[in-house]
Amino acid sequence: MLEFHSASTRMVNSKRAITECLEAALGSNVADCDLIVIHASMGHNFQDLVDQARQLAPRARVVGASCCGIVGSEGVSESMKDVAIMTVKGRNELAVAHVEGIRGDNSFEKCEELARQLKVANPGVNMVYFLGSGIDIANDRGIAGFESVLGREVTLFGATSSDNMRGLVSYQMVDDRVFEHAAYAVGFADPTLEVDTQASHGFVAVGEPLVVTKSHGHRILALNGRPAWKEYTRRLGLPETATCGDSIPVGALAEKLPAPLAREYGNDHILRVVTKRELDTGVMYYATLCPEGTQLRLTMRDEPRIFADMDRMMGELTKRGGGRKPVAVFHADCLARGRFLFNRVMKDELVNRMQFPLSDNGLVPPWLGMYGFGEFARLGGENTYHNYTTALYVIRRRN
């Protein structure tokens, strides 16, 4: 059976940071694991992180990504020097795959390749943790690529990597290498485990829609007949020269959900983020395919609703658990829900509302969370990509 341990720290020296995390997670047996998953803020040297991890745990596979802050069992931190890890023991019930060069136009093919690698490595994989590049990726096509090989019944959970909300570059780590446009997948094949996923955002759509009048795949070329970025920033009240980082906190785009999904989600809309734009052409890079005719609305955050929706989600997750406590929790949060959206007190309270219902006599389970560009969680029984949400992936033993 798979065993999970986690730890997090805020430390300037990258090698010392990963050493401290491994010692806190595993005690004196720092080499006693088969997988190390790393989330690290942009101020770290990612090559130093993976080199030190491999030196201390030479038999372990190492994967990781850049992020805009971390959440661990110790709490939340969003400095430029955060590191959090999850270690997993159980080589025969794990599979690791990775691809290079994933982008919006090849997301299906690259994720199909990841799924094939997992299936060859371990045909018993029943859930997949996926981490892809956060910039220029069509995430719905990535989901379709996984499902074409593994089937729709295999739950996909995870996130997309981020920077410190600039939308310039994000990093992924696999074993001893650091990439800018790569993706990795971890397949879990422990038949005693199951994962329960759910996401929530709490934003409200407002105003008249922006209509996609020209698009190509995941790239929006025109909104309301005008260059997309120019029209988008005009509606936001931002200059056309604004960066994606300027637009992310205020510029969530909402797509209307069918009524049954809206009831389950607790919200009429699913949100999308823009993480890349071409200033000369006005092209915006969407996180999923966006066909012509799609209506997109701007949104307003509703802080009481964010907390109310969080409590609702935690009640549903707890009820479905039937009293079983998690053996581990993976967690993806939108970077705009961190310090760019809340002050310190509210952010800590939000995380506490996640962790307390899943704790056992005050002890938080092994927990690995990140502030990234996007989140994966099921909706309507289907693997789904989300933005601007808190998404929790609760792993429990089956009855």
Q: Which residues does 249 contact at the CB level (< 8 Å), separation at least 6? A: 165, 336, 340, 341
217 vs 399 pLDDT, higher one = 217
* Token reading at 248: 């992310």
145 vs 250 pLDDT, higher one = 145
CA distance to 150, 158, 377, per residue, from 108 (Å): 13, 17, 18
Q: Which residues does 57 contact at the CB level (< 8 Å), separation at least 6? A: 22, 30, 31, 32, 33, 36, 87
Query: How large is the average pLDDT for residues 145-151?
Result: 98
Q: Distance between CA 264 and CA 268 in Å, rounded?
A: 10
What is the predicted pLDDT for the residue at 339? 55
Q: Backbone phi, then psi, for 192, in 5-degree steps?
A: -85, -5
What percent of the chain is predicted at pLDDT more than 90? 87
211 vs 303 pLDDT, higher one = 211
Amino acid in position 108: F
Q: Distance between CA 391 and CA 399 in Å, rounded?
A: 24
Q: Which residue has the tokens 């994989």?
A: 125
Q: Which residues does 142 contact at the CB level (< 8 Å), separation at least 6? A: 102, 107, 108, 110, 111, 130, 132, 183, 385
Q: Distance between CA 47 and CA 40 in Å, rounded?
A: 11
pTM: 0.94
**Residues 41/46/49/55 CA torsion (nearest 10 deg):** 170
Query: How large is the average pLDDT for residues 76-84?
Result: 89
The two beta strands, 328-334 and 367-372, are: parallel
Closest alpha carbon to 128 in 60, 189, 37, 202: 189
Contact 366, 5 (CB under 8 A): yes
Query: How large is the average pLDDT for residues 292-315?
Result: 93
Closest alpha carbon to 62 in 73, 51, 70: 51
* Token reading at 117: 């690698």
Weakest-pLDDT range from 95-109, 176-190, 285-299, 338-352? 338-352
- Burial class of residue 49, CB neighbours in 10 A (0-12, 13-18, 19+): buried
Q: Which residues of 91-127 are buried (b: 16+ CB within 10 A; e: fewer)?
A: eebbbbbbbeebebbbbbebbbbbbbbbbeebeebbb
Closest alpha carbon to 125 in 100, 99, 90, 101: 90
What is the predicted pLDDT for the residue at 347? 75
Greatest extent of the chain over all pairs of C-alpha atoms, in Å: 63
* pLDDT, tens digit, 9 for 90 and up, residues 103-122: 999 999 999 999 999 999 99
* pLDDT, tens digit, 9 for 90 and up, residues 12-67: 899 999 999 999 999 999 999 999 999 999 999 999 999 999 999 999 999 999 99
Query: How large is the average pLDDT for residues 339-363?
Result: 78
What is the predicted pLDDT for the residue at 262? 96
Q: Distance between CA 335 and CA 71 in Å, rounded?
A: 12
pLDDT at residue 149 tops 70: yes
Closest alpha carbon to 143 in 124, 123, 158, 161: 158
Q: What is the DSSP letter of 363?
A: B
What residue ranges do the domains of the chain occupy?
3-200+307-397, 203-300
Q: How confident is the model at residue 237 (pLDDT cuts 50, 70, 90)?
A: very high
Q: How many whole angstroms from its chain centre is CA 335?
A: 10
* pLDDT, tens digit, 9 for 90 and up, residues 154-180: 999 999 999 887 778 999 999 999 999
Query: How large is the average pLDDT for residues 208-224?
Result: 97
Contact 182, 133 (CB under 8 A): yes
SS (H, E, C) 164-180: CCCCCCCCEEECCEEEC
Weakest-pLDDT range from 167-176, 306-315, 331-340, 342-351? 342-351
Query: How large is the average pLDDT for residues 135-139?
Result: 95
Q: How confident is the model at residue 303 (pLDDT cuts 50, 70, 90)?
A: confident
